[in-house]
A and B are shown apart, each in its own frame.
Chain A
């Protein structure tokens, strides 16, 4: 009898769980779906929508969102979203090679074209078409919090226009987000005051907007994120250190053990500054932590 009661109870619980699960699944299906091509845009959209929509960042773990290649299934899922948030400025080159519904695309930096940083352009020719140029653009706009504000405003406008959330609610959340980003900018400006006197090298060219916003002098290498630098890489770094007199090396991801020692031998202070394109944590905390680490490295250089 007792066994029967236990079985009945377990069955009842399982039934309730299944009902609740199916209910939440249906609810998730009913909610609007927003896809963002990088983590900062996902963060902005999630804050602006609160719990009103599902905000996805489709890039798998460990993959650079700039060079991700979606599968057909990924593309199909992205095509089905109510809104697709693009970063613009050449970020996520895959969007040029897939079919996306233009009516649901939002370029969060469409209004920022005059503030883009143009990297070196390439001129080449092939066929009978004559010479043509490929202009490079720095794309990590959100590393300037004021540009991040502009991106958040573009996202908010799109969410309201598409009716994915009530306009007044989005406006209130945007005001809070703007205040947070402006406070972040003020804190970063204070922390990095005078840091422009210290020449820095980045392991990857990600920090153009950060450098421009806070007057930093950053040269860039082309190292793979999180990889151990090869002897050739270290030789290139040594040459660049000699050329620029750099004192700080910015890593976009923590390298394997031993890498810091190798670069410290060249007289460099190491600092990991996550460019946050695919950060797991909240954008504001991540940015603040990276800025603090960079400021600490600059202080260490000054102390030496």
Chain B
């Protein structure tokens, strides 16, 4: 007890040196633990996103591009598949296909055109407002709301893909009708619209002045308009009836299709139908693609582990050296103590108490830091992953 008291008094007297030693030791303990926690959380988050998405249908090409576009709404642009492929899966009754149209963006965030089945599939809950109801409605992720400072009642304008594209893509103003609760997934950084709204942005569907109305269509009245006809760039209750689509919906595009098979047998049958390497489409298990990517990334992690271990070893040696030099500097002080009657064991106990006290304080600080990281790892990793997209 006396040894601990004396050790603590000594460390407090030399507080600056003690503080440096404590912080260095705490960092040596904290950094590997925090790195491991964040990396394993990242790995789990990455793989979980893949595992939560059973199958992905897309145009034949890079599986990674398809996965990144459909799961992380990245800038990759896989060739589109037609909605006819979606109908094929419905007709097979082997699973639920959920189309995703990710070709457009607004305010730096991807516009994701989909069906309400995506909301059920990901179990979204609106934190504010309501879900998609009308053509043109937008529901934004929590990160979009935070970054753009927008909420229900505001609006977003789709970014024109090409300023010189006079033919198709008109910017569309979309009212924000809902904000999703945070999910710590790439969905937080997405702007969700009905896929029909994405087709309107693409120019496949549009509304314009009364060239043709529903009544005209029913009546079979011929009409001819020209380039001067004003196309609406905002869908309102007054003009929504004029919006219409051209062509057969089976030919309309989707960037990718999330496929949720009814059971393992259905998944196997579905996979078998897309094995033809010459076919225009592919059906992939994104979990496998992501696991491959994660494995590749985490091969670098083992290198990082070795570097961390070497640095930690060097830091430990430095601390040991610092302590050793401290004891050398205190040789006269120790000799005086021995002359006053202190036994060698007493001196050793005193030095050990100092070292243990230093390590305990360092360990406490490192443990507190590690607990903080562990508690917030999912949020921070989600934010980091969203930042990456």
How distant is B61 from chain A, measured CB to nearest CB, in Å?
26
Contact B134 A127 (CB under 8 A): no
Q: Contacts A102-B117, A103-B96, A136-B218 hold; do A122 and B231 have CB atoms under 8 A apart?
A: no
Cα distance A125–B222 in the bound complex, in angstroms: 11
Contact residues in A for B137 (Cβ distance below 8 Å):
99
Distance A121 CA – B212 CA, assembled complex (angstroms): 12
Of the candidate stretches A72-80, A182-190, A239-247, A258-266, the one touching chain B is A72-80
Interface mask (B59-82 → A, CB under 8 Å = 1, otherwise 0) = 000000000000000000000000
Binding-face segment, B14-22, B145-153, B242-250, B324-332: B242-250
Partner of A122, one of B167, B217, B243: B217
Q: How far apart sit A136 and B116, CA to CA, in the bound complex (Å)?
A: 28
B134 contacts A98, CB within 8 Å? Answer: yes
Say what secondary structure dominates the interface of chain A: mixed
Interface string of B190-220 (1 = CB under 8 A from A): 0000101000000100001001101111111
Interface assignment of A115: CB less than 8 Å from any CB of chain B: no
Bound-state Cα–Cα, A161 to B241, Å: 34
From known contacts A96-B196, A97-B240, A99-B116, infer whether A67 and B214 are also in contact, taking CB-CB under 8 Å: yes
CB distance from B124 to the nearest CB of A (A): 13
Q: How far is the CA of A234 from the CA of B147 in the complex (A)?
A: 63
Which of A76, A126, A132, A222 touches B227 (beta carbons < 8 Å)? A126
Distance (Å) between the CB of A94 and the closest chain B CB?
9
Q: Are B203 and A125 in contact, with the CB atoms below 8 A?
A: no
Q: Which of A127, A136, A205 has the most CB of B within 10 A?
A: A127
CA distance A26 to B220 in the complex (A): 48
Q: Do A124 and B120 have beta carbons less than 8 Å apart?
A: no
Q: A126-B225, A127-B167 are in contact. Are A99 and B134 (CB under 8 A)?
A: yes
B 123-141 binary contact with A (CB < 8 Å = 1; else 0): 0000000111111010000
Q: Assuming the A-B contacts A96-B244, A99-B194, A101-B117, are A127 and B130 also in contact, with contact meaning beta carbons closer than 8 angstroms in the complex?
A: no
A102 adjacent to B222 (CB under 8 Å): no
Contact between A124 and B225 (Cβ–Cβ < 8 Å)?
A: yes
Given A122-B216, A136-B217, is A75 in contact with B134 using a C-beta cutoff of 8 Å? Answer: yes
Across the interface, do B222 and A134 meet the contact criterion of CB distance under 8 Å? no
Are the CB atoms of A129 and B134 closer together than 8 Å?
no
Interface contact A124-B116, CB-CB below 8 Å: no
Q: CA of A99 to CA of B96 in the docked complex: distance in angstroms?
A: 17
- Provided the pairs A122-B216, A122-B221, A205-B218 are in contact, do residues A79 and B131 lie with their beta carbons within 8 angstroms? yes
A97-B130 in contact (CB<8A)? no
Is B115 in contact with chain A by the CB < 8 A criterion?
yes
Q: Which residue of A lies closest to B237 (CB)?
A: A69
A119 in contact with B226 (CB, 8 Å): no
Chain A CB within 10 A, most for which of B194, B196, B218, B245: B218
Residues of chain B with a CB closer than 8 A to A126's CB:
208, 211, 225-227, 229, 231
C-alpha gap A70/B64 in the complex (Å): 42
The yes or no answer to B277 lying at the interface (CB within 8 A) is: no
Task: Write out the residue numbers on chain B whose beta carbons fall within 8 Å of the beta carbon of A304.
Answer: none
0/1 per residue, A71-109, Cβ < 8 Å to B? 010011001000000000000010011111111000000
Interface-centre pick from A97, A124, A222 (highest chain B CB count, 10 A): A97
Q: Who on chain A is nearest to B116 by CB?
A: A101
List the B side residues contacting A222 at CB < 8 Å: 215, 219
A124 touches B115 (CB 8 A): no
Known: A126-B229, A127-B229, A136-B220. A75 touches B133 (CB 8 A): yes
**CB-based contact B244/A134 at 8 Å:** yes
Partner of B116 from A79, A96, A132 at Cβ < 8 Å: A79
* Contacts between chains A and B (CB distance < 8 A), count: 103
A232 an interface residue at 8 Å Cβ cutoff? no
**How far, in whole Å, are A102 and B353 apart by their CA atoms in the complex?**
70
Q: In the complex, what residues of A have CB within 8 A of residue B1's CB?
A: none
CA distance A80 to B159 in the complex (A): 33
A136 to B120, CA, bound (A): 34
User: Is B224 an interface residue, CB under 8 A from the partner?
Assistant: yes
Q: How far apart sit A75 and B132, CA to CA, in the bound complex (Å)? A: 10
Q: Which of A79, A103, A126, A136 has the most CB of B within 10 A?
A: A126
Chain A nearest CB: distance from B187 CB in Å? 17
- With A93-B214, A127-B229 as contacts: A119 and B135 at CB distance below 8 Å: no
Within 8 A of B (CB), among A128-142: 128-129, 132, 134, 136
Partner of A134, one of B133, B217, B243: B217
A120 near B225: Cβ-Cβ < 8 Å: no
> Are A101 and B120 in touch, CB under 8 angstroms?
yes
Task: Knowing A76-B133, A101-B116, A103-B120 are in contact, say whether A128-B227 is a contact too (CB < 8 A).
Answer: yes
Q: Given known contacts A99-B131, A99-B134, is B231 in contact with A127 (CB within 8 Å)?
A: yes
Given A72-B134, A127-B231: A120 touches B220 (CB 8 Å cut-off): yes
Contacts of A96 in B (CB 8 A): 135, 196, 243-245
B166 interfacial by beta-carbon distance below 8 Å:
yes
| CB proximity of A228 to chain B, nearest CB, Å | 19
Give CA–CA (A132, B206) in the complex, Å. 13
Q: Is A123 an interface residue (CB 8 A)?
A: yes
Interface members, chain A 214-267 (any B CB < 8 Å): 222
Q: 1/0 contact trace for B97-134 toward A, CB 8 Å?
A: 00000000000000000011100100000000011111
| B340 CB within 8 Å of chain A | no
Q: Which of B131, B222, B227, B240 contacts A123 (CB 8 A)?
A: B222
A136 CB contacts on chain B under 8 angstroms = 217-218, 220
Chain A residues with CB under 8 A of B218 = 119, 136, 205
By Cβ-Cβ distance, the 5 closest A-B pairs, closest first, are: A120-B220, A99-B132, A101-B116, A126-B225, A126-B229
Which residues on B are within 8 Å of A, measured CB to CB? 90, 93, 96, 115-117, 120, 130-135, 137, 166-168, 194, 196, 203, 208, 211-212, 214-227, 229, 231, 240-241, 243-247
* Additional pairs, 8, CB under 8 Å, beyond known A67-B214, A101-B120, A132-B247: A72-B130, A97-B135, A100-B116, A122-B216, A122-B217, A122-B221, A126-B231, A205-B218
**Footprint of B on A, CB under 8 Å?**
67, 69, 72, 75-76, 79, 93, 96-103, 119-129, 132, 134, 136, 161, 205, 222
Q: Could you pull out 15 A-B pairs where Cβ atoms are within 8 angstroms?
A: A76-B133, A97-B135, A97-B196, A97-B240, A98-B134, A122-B212, A122-B223, A125-B224, A125-B225, A126-B211, A126-B227, A126-B229, A128-B227, A129-B167, A129-B203
